[in-house]
Amino acid sequence: MSTIEDVEVLITNPGRNFVTLRITTSDGVTGLGDATLNGRELAVASYLRDHVAPILTGRDSSSIEDTWQYLYRGAYWRRGPVTMASIAAVDMALWDIKGKVAGLPVYQLLGGAVRRGLLAYGHASGAETPQIFDSIRAHLEEGYRAVRVQTAVPGLGQVYGVAAAGASGSGRYDYEPARPGARPTEEQWDTRAYMRHLPSVFEAVRGEFGPDLPLLHDGHHRMTPNQAGRLGRDLEPYDLFWLEDCTPAENQQGLRRVRELTTQPLAIGEIFNTVWDYQTLITEQLIDYVRSAVTHTGGITHLKKIMDFASLYQIKSGFHGPTDISPVGQAAALHLGLAIHNFGIQEYMRHTDDTLEVFHTSYSFEDGLLHPGDTPGLGVEYDDAAGTSHEYSPAYLPVNRLVDGTMHDW
């Protein structure tokens, strides 16, 4: 029996912080898992280093399901982003190991490919319509066949999803909401101003790019269900692929109201941790797309179960894939997406060159489609020398305040 011999937590910051778990077996096979939780990185690192690593050593490295249950049920304290990102990292690393031992890419272990590649969407944004058009054109030239569109709002400063000119230095990030520093930056928010402005942007974009291009938009948890229903209705003429996080969804029943008001396809779940966060949304068909990342939802094992459950209700995947998911987490999403029947779309933006020097990937992006590649396991290798040359430094997602100073969902 091959056992788990070494469990290492690797922290690097090639422009942004990433936490990676590396498991080495008694046979010398290594597996990688992504444990990056944007703005709370060190909490996951401690959970893994102080509480998971000591109880993993000596266990059978081939027992993925049993290890998952051991960590989930064994902690007694279930769920939550720190716990579930930690379990996800172990799960990914064990799938990586199983693939390497079998000599097969992970998607083959999950049942094999059911499509040639995964339709990806990129992130276009801009302060004004001309910049938005330029950003969409740039994405189309890079091969994207679907684009998310985020816009500034007249009267407000920097808002979520709009690339801050010059803010990301020489890196290739289209946008990066986490800002280096000891405290979060503050942004200003006005939901009515946003709701007034957004439909005019989509009208302009449809006018310029025609009816065919799939367009997406992220409401980022800022509306009430009533407001979300109204915005969804106002956007219906522009035939969006999805409206994401139209309202905070801890109260899953709130989506019933949105569904009463609009036929707008809805995507939710990037901040969810387990299938229980989706139970009402899925069984009542209150969403169309599952937004979870493998990294934040307990790994491949758990997200596969969520997707099989969702498939009973004609709900598809739209896995979270911003650059705060490391290349390891992104690779895991690609293997899973290639193997499930109810794949919908995959979020994708290229990591910076510095990041890709730490994480050597084998996935590809061609003609708008992503493919995980055929390297055994997840297909990502970690370069220790490159990794240790970038030290952790604090960075936080911004917070939002209304004009009168009240804290609002960011």
Catalytic center residues: 160, 220
CB of 81 to ligand EZ4, least distance (A): 11
Q: Tell me the backbone φ, ψ of residue 2, rounded to 5 degrees.
A: -90, 130
Residue for token pair 């009816």: 211
Q: How far apart are CA 279 and CA 333, in angstroms?
A: 21
Neighbouring C-beta atoms of residue 304, cutoff 10 Å: 16
Q: How far apart are CA 100 and CA 245, in angstroms?
A: 37
- Nearest Cα residue to 377 out of 59, 39, 142, 92: 92
Residue for token pair 């944007």: 38
Q: Which does 254 bind (CB under 5 to 8 A by kind): ligand EZ4, Co ion, none?
A: none
Q: Which does 91 bind (CB under 5 to 8 A by kind): Co ion, ligand EZ4, none?
A: none
The two beta strands, 399-402 and 266-268, are: unpaired
- Contacts of ligand EZ4 in 226-245 (CB under 6 A): 244
Q: How far apart are CA 121 and CA 106, in angstroms?
A: 23
Looking at beta carbons only, is 36 or 61 nearer to ligand EZ4? 36
CB of 101 to ligand EZ4, least distance (A): 32
CB of 364 to ligand EZ4, least distance (A): 22
The three-state secondary structure class of 266 is: strand
Q: Which does 322 bind (CB under 5 to 8 A by kind): ligand EZ4, Co ion, none?
A: ligand EZ4
Binding mask 130-169 for ligand EZ4 (x = CB under 6 A): ----------------------------------------
Q: Which does 222 bind (CB under 5 to 8 A by kind): Co ion, ligand EZ4, none?
A: none
Residue in the shown chain whose Cβ atom is closest to Co ion: 218
Neighbouring C-beta atoms of residue 101, cutoff 10 Å: 17
- Contacts of ligand EZ4 in 381-400 (CB under 6 A): 397
Query: In this chain, which of 34, 41, 91, 270 binds ligand EZ4, going by CB under 6 A?
Result: 270
Whether the Cβ atoms of residue 176 and residue 213 lie closer than 8 Å to each other: no
Residues that bind Co ion (CB under 5 A): 218, 270
Query: In this chain, which of 324, 358, 382, 395 binds ligand EZ4, going by CB under 6 A?
Result: 324
The helix or strand, by DSSP H or E, that contains position 88, with its residue range, turns out to be: helix 81-102
Query: Does 220 help bind ligand EZ4 (rule: CB under 6 A)?
Result: yes
Q: Which does 324 bind (CB under 5 to 8 A by kind): Co ion, ligand EZ4, none?
A: ligand EZ4
Whether the Cβ atoms of residue 296 and residue 288 lie closer than 8 Å to each other: no
> For 187-204, b where at least 16 C-beta lie within 10 A, e where not — what string?
bbbbbebbbebbbebbeb
Query: Does 352 help bind ligand EZ4 (rule: CB under 6 A)?
Result: no
Residue in the shown chain whose Cβ atom is closest to ligand EZ4: 38
Looking at beta carbons only, is 297 or 375 nearer to Co ion? 297
CB of 365 to Co ion, least distance (A): 20
The two beta strands, 395-396 and 364-366, are: unpaired
Whether the Cβ atoms of residue 98 and residue 288 lie closer than 8 Å to each other: no
Site residues for ligand EZ4 per CB under 6 A: 38, 177, 218, 220, 244, 270, 322, 324, 397
